């Protein structure tokens, strides 16, 4: 038996509805708009200073998203334990596909934001 066959994606769990990811999407769009505005020089001169500072916004948003993803992962674990103890069988509740995508986006924002924050003034 394949180990992933025992996983259940529970749409009723907190965070697994797409509507619950609207906050995450707004945060991602905010961070990317700050990055684009700094590249285009909309904040004034010198552009390279603003570009480097936009990296801190990317890191902050990435950290917030990672915290939210970890919180929803913890809820999935708690629901798995609660479900298993209630009926005697085992179940592993998995996060929905969009929650997993947000987790990878968060990691990417942290890595790219750190590079921009550290070396951004050298690039532009």
pLDDT in tens, 90-118: 666 777 788 889 999 999 999 999 999 98
Helices assigned H by DSSP within the chain: 22-40, 47-87, 97-123
At how many degrees (to 10) do helices 47-87 and 97-123 cross? 160
112 token code pair? 């790219």
Torsions phi, psi for 43 (to 5 deg):
-95, 0
- Nearest Cα neighbor of 69 from 99, 112, 101, 30 is 99
> pLDDT at residue 9 above 90?
no
Please tell me whether residue 90 adopts helix, strand or coil conformation.
Answer: coil
Q: Are 30 and 64 in contact (CB under 8 A)?
A: no
Please tell me whether residue 39 adopts helix, strand or coil conformation.
Answer: helix
Average pLDDT estimate for 18-29: 87
- Residue 28's pLDDT band, with cuts at 50, 70 and 90, is very high
Helical (H) or strand (E) element with 94: strand 92-94
Considering the entire predicted model, what is its pTM? 0.78
* Amino acid 16: pLDDT: 66
Pick the more confident residue, 16 or 32.
32
């Amino acid at each position: 038996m394949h180990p992933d066959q025992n996983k259940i994606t529970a749409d009723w769990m907190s965070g697994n509805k797409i509507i619950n990811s609207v906050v995450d999407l707004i945060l991602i769009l905010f961070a990317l708009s700050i990055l684009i505005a700094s590249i285009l020089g909309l904040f004034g001169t010198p552009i390279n200073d603003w570009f480097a500072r936009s990296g801190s916004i990317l890191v902050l948003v990435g950290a917030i998203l990672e915290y939210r993803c970890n919180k929803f992962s913890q809820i999935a674990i708690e629901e798995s334990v609660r479900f298993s103890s209630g009926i005697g069988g085992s179940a592993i509740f998995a996060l929905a596909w969009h929650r997993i995508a947000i987790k990878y986006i968060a990691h990417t924002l942290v890595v790219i934001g750190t590079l921009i924050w550290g070396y951004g003034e050298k690039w532009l």
